[in-house]
Amino acid sequence: MKKKLVSVMLCAAMAMTLLAGCGGSPSDSDSAAGGDANAPSQGEDSTSGGDKEQADASADDADQNGSDQATGTGGKSCAILVKSAGNPYNKKMIEGFQEIMDAEGVTCVVKEPEEASAEAQIKMINELVAQGISSIAIAGNDPDALQPALEEAMNQGIKVCCMDSSVNADSRQLFVNQAGIEIIGETLMEAVYDITGGEGQWAILSATSQATNQNAWIDAMKTVMEDEKYSKLELVEVAYGDDEYQKSVDQTQALLANYPDLKVICAPTTVGIMAAAKVLKDEQTDVKLTGLGLPSEMADYIGTDDAHSCPYMYLWNPIDIGRLTAYVSLALVDGSITGAEGENFTAGDLGDYTIEAAADGGTEVVLGPPFAFTPDNIEEWKNVY
Amino acid sequence: MKKKFSLKGITSSRETSLVIVVILLCILVQLRNSAFLTPGMMENLFKNYAVTMIMALGMMCVLLIGGIDIAVGSTLGFSGMCASLFLRDHPGMPVIAIFLISIVIGTVCGTLIGLVISYGKVPPIIATLGGMYVFRGLAYLVAKNEWVAAYQFTDGYKDFAQSKYLGFGLLNNLIVLTIVIYVLFFIFFKWTTVGRKIYAVGSNAEAAEVSGIKIKQVKIMCYAILGFLTGLCGAIYTSLYASAQGDMGTGLEMDVIAACVVGGVSLNGGRGSVVGVFLGALTMAIVGRALPLIGVSQFWQTAIKGLIIIAAVILNVLTQRVMDKNNLKGREM
Amino acid sequence: MATKSGRVISAQKPFDWKKALLKWEVFLVVIFIAVNIMNAFISPYYLSVNGLFTATSSFLEKSFIVLPMAYVLLLGEIDISVGATVALSACMLGISFNAGMPMGAAVLICLLTGAACGALNGLILTRFQELAPMIVTLGTQILYRGLAEILLEDQATGGFTKVAWFKNLYWGKVGVVPIMFIIFVICAAVFGVVMHGTTFGRRMYAIGSNPLAAKYSGIQVQRIRFIIYTLTGLFSAVTALFLASGMGSARSNIASGYELEAISMAVLGGILTDGGKGNFPGAILAIFILGFLRYGLGLVNVASQLMMVIIGLLLIVVVMAPNLNLGRFFKKKAAK
C-alpha cells in the first residue's frame, strides 16, 4: 500500500518534471501569440491525469516555436526584463509591452527573475544575448551592477533601454521614466503639506535602503523641503520596510509608537503603503497616509473620512510604461532613434515624445506626471491595475 | 528514575535562564522607550508574531525527531495563497472554510515532505530544500503573478485577525488561538503516549524502534503536524495582513528555527520543551519588535539580531555545561 | 514479479550500497547527456561553443563555494553563512579599493575577510562542539550580512571595471574559454585530488562516517573542522571576487541565497548531508547539470517560477530515486 503510494508519488513527480521541462515553451509561444494562457496554469494542473498528452502537446509547441525563432532571427525580437516575478505591478508593465509587440507582429520575450537581484538579471541578460535578441528593455535591480553585462550586450549590437527603475547612464541608450524625479518629489511634498495642513511631524516609509528610485525620490523630496514654505514640517525618520509586508508593518507600528505626534506617513512604495494603510486602519489613529501605491491594492483604504487613512495617493499607469517602452524598443531597433537628446518619435496612441537629458547624464523620455487616485476615481481604477 | 529526575531539573532551570533573558530584554527596552510595556504594544507584539510562535511549535516536533524543515516559509506562502485565491473567487465562503482549505493544503504539503523523508530516505534538509523551491514556485504559479488585495477579501476574514470574539472581548483572536494551541501542545507532549513517542524517537531512534514504535509513522506525523500548523498560519498571515503575495513568508523558516534553538531545542533531536519554545519565540519577537523602538540605526539592526542569536545559543551551551557538571557532582556524592 | 527474485539477491545490503554509489556518477553522466540533448532540441541557440562557455560564466562564480561546501557536507556538517560571507567580503573589497588602495591589496583584504568569517564559524564550532553547525552559521549569516549593511549602509561601492585585469576575471577570455572557467577547473582539480588522493581527504571521510572513532584513532578532528570552515570562508571570498568583477560593483544585499544553491549542487552530486559519503566528480557534474539545465530552459524563456518547481523536484527525485529500490525490498520482505 505504502509502496504504491510512494511509487505513484514518484511517477507524478517525474511526469511533472517532464511536463515542466517541456511546458516552458508555452511561456514563449504565448508571448508570441498574445499572453493569456500562460505557462503557469499548465504547471499547476499537471498533478491531475493526462500529463502525457499535455507534455506531448507542449513538446510540439516547442518544436514549432523553435523553428519560428530559428527562421525569425532575421526578423525582430524584443525582450522585457522586469525586477522580479510575482508582482502585479511588473505584470501590468509586461502586459503593456506585450500588447504593442503583438500589434506590431514582433516576437516578444518576457523574463522575470525569481528574486529581485542583479545577479539573476545578469544571468538572464546572458541568455538573451545568446538568443540573438534585437533589444532589451530592463527595469534594473541595481543601477551599477548591470553595467558590464549590458555593455557586453550593446557591444553585440543589441539595443538597450530601461524603464521604471533606471540603470546608470553608461549601461543604457535611453531611460523610459515613468515621471520626472523632481515632479514626484514636488507632488509628494505638496501632498504632505496639504494633508498635514502645513505643519507638524511626518515620516517616510521606504522600500529597501538600496532601491535606486526610492532614494532618488526621497532626495528630491528633501530638496523640495528646503523651501521656506515647508519650514514647519519636520521629517522625523526615513524607515525601511524592505518591501516585505511584515517588516513594513513592524516599521509602521514603530513609527507610531516612537512619534505620538506624527501626522502623516509618506510611503513611495507599493508594498510599504499597503502595509502602512493596514496598520493605520487597525490602530484607528488619526495619522494619515499618502505616497505611491497600486489602486487595486489600496482601494480599501482610500477615503476622506476617519475610517480611511489615505485621502489620496499617486501612481502612474504601469501598462502605459510597458507600452511606451515597447515603442522605444522598436524605434531603437528600427534605427529611427539612437537615444540622443532632442530626437522625436511617435508612440502610437500615447502621442509624440521628445528625448530629454536626464539628471544622471544620460537621456530619458518622461511618460507624464503622476496620476492622483482619489475617493472619486478609485472605484474605476481598482479593476484596471 | 534518577535520570528522569535530573532531566526534568535541566529543562526547568534552562527555562529559568531564558525567563531572565526575556525580563532583562524587556527592562532594557523599557528604559529606552517607555511605550514598550503597554497593553497596546504587547497586543501588537503577540498578534504580529503569532505566526512565528505557532509555527515554532510545529518546528519543534520536527527538530525533536532530529529532522529539520526549511520549506515552511514556502508552504505558508502556497497554502495562504491558495486559500486567498479561493476566497477571492468565492466571496460567500465563511471564514472557517478558508482556514480549513489553508490547513488542508498545508497538511498535505507537510505529509508529502514526511513521506519523501521517511520512505524515500531523503535527508530532511534536502527534501525540504526541494520542497522550498517547489512550493514557492507553485505559490507564484497558482496566483499567476498576482496579489490578492484587501478589497478582494471579505470583511469577516479581514476582521478575524483584528477582533476579539474568540477571547470574549478581552483578548485578540490570534492571541487566543496561540494560547489554545500552546496549551494543547503542552498537554500533548507531557501526557500523551504519542507525544512521548516523539521524544523517544528523537533521543534514540534504534531503542525506540526496538520498543515497538513505528518510526516512519512518527516522522510523517511530525511533518504533518508542522504542515498543519503552517497551513493554519498561512490563513492567519493573509487575514492579519489582509493581502496575499506570492513571496509572503520568504525567510520565515530561519526565524522559526532560530526561535526554537534560542528556546533550547536541540538540532540533534530529543531535547526541547513547549515552554522553552514559547520563551524562544518570545525572545525573537521582542528583539524584532524592540530594535526599531530603541532608536538603533536601520543599518545596525541586522547585525544586532545576529549577535543576539549567537549569544543566546552560546549562553545555552554554557548553562548546559554548568548544569551537567553539577549533575555529575551530585551523582558522585 | 521479476522483483521477487531480485529481492533475494539484494538481501546483502552493504554490497548493494556500494553498487549504488558506483552507479551514482554514471547516473549523473546520463542525466547530464539527457539535459544537453533536451536543450539542443528545444533551442536552436544552445549548441554553440561560444554560447556554452558564456553560459558557464553565469553559474561558475557561485560554484567556487561548492568546492569547500562538498568538504563541509562530507564531514556531515553544513555552512549556511556563505552567502553573507560573499557579501561582506565584496563590500570590504569595494571599501578598501575606493579608499585608494591598489586593487591587489584590496583583493587580499577581500580574501582575508572571507577567511576570517570562516575562521569565526570554525572557532565557535570547535569551542562549543555541542552546537549544531546549522544554527551557528545561521547566526553568523545574519551577523555578516548585518556587518555588510553597517559598512555600506544604502550605498553601492564600485568602479572595479576601471582595473582591466580585475574586470577580466569574469569577462576575460582566452580564445573562447573564459578565464573564470580555467581557474575553476584548476581549483576543482586541486580539491578533487585533496579529497581522493591525500591523507587529509581520507581523514575527512573518517570524520564524516564516525567522528568519535576518528577522534580515538588519533585524527585531530577539531583542527580539520576548523581548517575546512576557514577554507569555506576563503572560497566564499573567491566567489565575491568574481561576482564583484562581473558586476563592477558591490552592495550589502548581493549573493543572497547562494548557500542553498551551493548545497543543492553538492547534494545532487551525491554528497549527502549525512556525512562520509560522496565523490568529488559527482559534485562537479552536478554543477554543470544544474547550470546547463537552467541555461537551456532560460534560452527558451521558461518562466523562472516554473524553473523553481523543476529544480526543486529534480533535487528530490534524484536523491530519492536510488533509495526507493531499497525501500521496496524492505517492504516485500516485511510482507512475506
CA of A250: which chain B residue's CA is closest? B289
Within-domain flag for A376 = no
Local confidence band at B64 (pLDDT 50, 70, 90 cut-offs): very high
In this prediction, what percent of chain B has a pLDDT beyond 70? Answer: 95
CA distance to partner chain A, nearest, from residue C134 (Å): 24
What's the pLDDT at A59?
40
Q: How far apart are the first and last CA of chain A?
A: 50
C-alpha cell, A17 = 518534471
The whole-angstrom separation of Cα B216 and Cα B199 is 14
Contact B149 A297 (CB under 8 A): yes
Within-domain flag for A385 = no
Q: Is residue A112 within 8 Å of residue A85, measured between CB atoms?
A: yes
> Residue C311: which of B133, B246, B254 has the nearest Cβ?
B133
What's the pLDDT at B330?
67
- The single-letter code of the amino acid at C135 is I
Confidence (pTM): 0.85
Under 8 Å CB-to-CB from B234, ≥6 apart: which residues? B75, B76, B77, B78, B79, B80, B81, B83, B102, B105, B106, B249
What's the pLDDT at A271?
84
Q: Which of C54, C306, C319, C326 to mutate to test the interface with A (most CBs of A within 10 A)?
A: C306
Residues A93 and A36 in one domain: no
Residues A106 and A165 in one domain: yes
Domain span including residue C290: 12-335
Contact C256 A115 (CB under 8 A): yes
Helix (H, G, I), strand (E, B) or coil at C26: helix
B288 touches chain A (CB under 8 A): yes
Within-domain flag for A9 = yes
Residues A202 and A308 in one domain: yes
Number of domains in chain C: 1
DSSP B167: B
What's the pLDDT at A369?
83
Which is higher by pLDDT, A282 or C286? C286
C273 touches chain B (CB under 8 A): yes
C-alpha cell, C292 = 546547463
Residue B235: is its pLDDT beyond 60? Answer: yes
Helix (H) or strand (E) holding C250: strand C249-250
Q: Which residues of A touch B36 (CB under 8 A)?
A: 257
| Grid-cell match 533606471, residue found | A166
The count of residues in chain C is 336
Helix (H, G, I), strand (E, B) or coil at B161: coil
CA distance to partner chain A, nearest, from residue C22 (Å): 23
pLDDT in tens, A289-338: 999 988 888 888 888 887 788 888 998 888 899 999 999 999 999 888 88
CA of C330: which chain B residue's CA is closest? B119
CA of C157: which chain A residue's CA is closest? A144
pLDDT in tens, B168-222: 778 889 999 999 999 999 999 999 999 999 999 988 888 888 888 999 999 999 9
Q: Residue B258 burial (CB < 10 Å; 0-12/13-18/19+)?
A: buried
Q: Which residues of A touch B142 (CB under 8 A)?
A: 40, 44
Q: Which of C52, C170, C304 to mutate to test the interface with A (most CBs of A within 10 A)?
A: C304
B186 touches chain A (CB under 8 A): no
Within-domain flag for A163 = yes
A21 touches chain B (CB under 8 A): no
CA distance to partner chain C, nearest, from residue A279 (Å): 26
Do the strands C177-178 and A288-291 form a parallel or antiparallel pair, or are they unpaired?
unpaired
What's the pLDDT at C16?
55
Contact C309 A119 (CB under 8 A): no
C-alpha cell, A165 = 527603475
Domain span including residue A337: 75-178+317-367
Q: Which residues of A touch C248 (CB under 8 A)?
A: 144-145, 147-148
CA distance to partner chain A, nearest, from residue C200 (Å): 35
The whole-angstrom separation of Cα A165 and Cα A185 is 16
Do the strands A288-291 and A262-267 form a parallel or antiparallel pair, or are they unpaired?
parallel
Local confidence band at B268 (pLDDT 50, 70, 90 cut-offs): confident
Within-domain flag for C4 = no
Residues A327 and A300 in one domain: no
The whole-angstrom separation of Cα A55 and Cα A128 is 25
Which is higher by pLDDT, A81 or C274? A81
Contact A250 B143 (CB under 8 A): no
The whole-angstrom separation of Cα B97 and Cα B95 is 5
Q: Which of A150, A132, C306, A168 is nearest to B134 (CA)?
A: C306
DSSP B151: G
Which is higher by pLDDT, C205 or A361? C205
Number of domains in chain A: 3
CA distance to partner chain B, nearest, from residue C297 (Å): 15
* Structure ipTM: 0.87
Asked which of A376-385, C60-69, C219-228 is least confident by mean pLDDT, the reply is: A376-385
Q: Which residues of C touch B141 (CB under 8 A)?
A: 303, 305-306, 309
Residue numbers of chain A with a pLDDT score lower than 50? 1-73
The whole-angstrom separation of Cα B248 and Cα B237 is 9
Q: Which residues of B touch C141 (CB under 8 A)?
A: 306
Count of pairs with CB atoms under 8 A, one residue in A, one in C = 176
CA distance to partner chain C, nearest, from residue B197 (Å): 23
Residues A171 and A186 in one domain: no
B302 touches chain A (CB under 8 A): no
Q: At what angle do helices B274-293 and B301-332 cross, to 10 degrees?
A: 150
Under 8 Å CB-to-CB from A260, ≥6 apart: which residues? B35
What's the pLDDT at A63?
39
The whole-angstrom separation of Cα A46 and Cα A20 is 9
Q: Which of C73, C79, C142 to mutate to test the interface with B (most CBs of B within 10 A)?
A: C142
CA distance to partner chain C, nearest, from residue B133 (Å): 5
Q: Which of B264, B314, B50, B328 is nearest to B167 (CA)?
A: B50
Please say which residue of A50, A72, A94 terminates a domain: A72
Q: Is residue C20 within 8 Å of residue C322, measured between CB atoms?
A: yes
Q: What is the mean pLDDT of residues C175-180?
A: 90
pLDDT in tens, B269-296: 888 899 999 999 999 999 888 887 887 8
The whole-angstrom separation of Cα C146 and Cα C88 is 9
C-alpha cell, B266 = 536541540
Which is higher by pLDDT, C126 or B170? C126
Residue C228: is its pLDDT beyond 90? Answer: yes
Please say which residue of A57, A72, A87 terminates a domain: A72
In angstroms, the Cα distances linking A276 to A214, A313, B16, B109, B314 are: 16, 13, 37, 32, 37
Tell which phi-psi region holds residue A132, choosing left (phi > 0), alpha (psi between -120 and 50) or beta.
Answer: left
Q: Residue B191 burial (CB < 10 Å; 0-12/13-18/19+)?
A: exposed
The whole-angstrom separation of Cα B134 and Cα B75 is 9
Q: Which of B70, B125, B209, B247 to mutate to test the interface with C (most CBs of C within 10 A)?
A: B125
C147 touches chain B (CB under 8 A): yes
In this prediction, what percent of chain B has a pLDDT beyond 90? Answer: 47
- What residue segments make up the domains of chain B, in order of their start? 8-327
The whole-angstrom separation of Cα A141 and Cα A139 is 7
Residues A174 and A242 in one domain: no
Residue B50: is its pLDDT beyond 70? Answer: yes
Please say which residue of A315, A346, A377 terminates a domain: A315
Residues A56 and A88 in one domain: no
Within-domain flag for A80 = yes
Q: Which of B239, B326, B310, B256 is nearest to B53 (CA)?
A: B256
Q: Which residues of B touch A296 (CB under 8 A)?
A: 149, 151
Residues A91 and A60 in one domain: no
What's the pLDDT at B83?
95
Query: Domain B8-327: which topology?
Result: ABC transporter involved in vitamin B12 uptake, BtuC (1.10.3470)
Count of pairs with CB atoms under 8 A, one residue in B, one in C = 148
Residue B58: is its pLDDT beyond 50? Answer: yes
Output the domain CATH number for residue A304: 3.40.50.2300
Q: Which of A108, A33, A102 is nearest to A78 (CA)?
A: A108
A246 touches chain B (CB under 8 A): yes
Q: Which residues of C touch B130 (CB under 8 A)?
A: 312-316, 319
What's the pLDDT at C325?
63
Helix (H) or strand (E) holding C178: strand C177-178
Contact A10 C321 (CB under 8 A): yes
The whole-angstrom separation of Cα A121 and Cα C125 is 36
Contact B125 C78 (CB under 8 A): yes
C-alpha cell, B297 = 540605526
Within a 13 Å sphere around the CA of B71, how many CA atoms are in the beta-carbon half? Answer: 38
What's the pLDDT at A72?
40
Chains near B with 3+ CB pairs less than 8 A apart are A, C
Local confidence band at C52 (pLDDT 50, 70, 90 cut-offs): confident
Residues A215 and A310 in one domain: yes
Q: What's chain A look like in SS3?
A: CHHHHHHHHHHHHHHHHHHHHHHHHHHHHHHHHCCCCCHHHHHHHCCCCCHHHHHHHHHHHHHHHHHHHHHHCCCCEEEEECCCCCCHHHHHHHHHHHHHHHHHCCEEEEECCCCCCHHHHHHHHHHHHHCCCCEEEECCCCCCCCHHHHHHHHHCCCEEEEECCCCCHHHCCEEEECCCHHHHHHHHHHHHHHHHCCCEEEEEEECCCCCHHHHHHHHHHHHHHCCHHHCCEEEEEEEECCCCHHHHHHHHHHHHHHCCCEEEEEECCHHHHHHHHHHHHHHCCCCEEEEECCHHHHHHHECCCCCCCECCEEECCHHHHHHHHHHHHHHHHHCCCCCCCCCEEECHHHCEEECEECCCCCEEEECCCCEEECCCCHHHHCCCC
What's the pLDDT at A9?
47
C-alpha cell, C192 = 578533487
Contact C313 B68 (CB under 8 A): no
C-alpha cell, C116 = 576570517
Residues A185 and A311 in one domain: yes
B108 touches chain A (CB under 8 A): no
Output the domain CATH number for residue C62: 1.10.3470
Q: What is the mean pLDDT of residues B77-85?
A: 95
The whole-angstrom separation of Cα A274 and Cα A298 is 6
Q: Residue A1 burial (CB < 10 Å; 0-12/13-18/19+)?
A: exposed
Contact B295 A258 (CB under 8 A): yes
Q: Which of B75, B136, B154, C304 is nearest to A90 (CA)?
A: C304
The whole-angstrom separation of Cα B227 and Cα B233 is 10
CA distance to partner chain B, nearest, from residue C86 (Å): 16
What's the pLDDT at B332?
59
CA of B247: which chain C residue's CA is closest? C305
In angstroms, the Cα distances linking A258 to A34, A262, A278, B32 are: 50, 9, 18, 11
The whole-angstrom separation of Cα A128 and Cα A150 is 11
Contact C248 A69 (CB under 8 A): no
Contact A40 B245 (CB under 8 A): no
CA of C327: which chain A residue's CA is closest? A3
Q: Which of B136, B140, B143, B144 is nearest to B109 (CA)?
A: B136
The whole-angstrom separation of Cα A353 and Cα C55 is 38
Averaged pLDDT score across all residues of chain B: 88
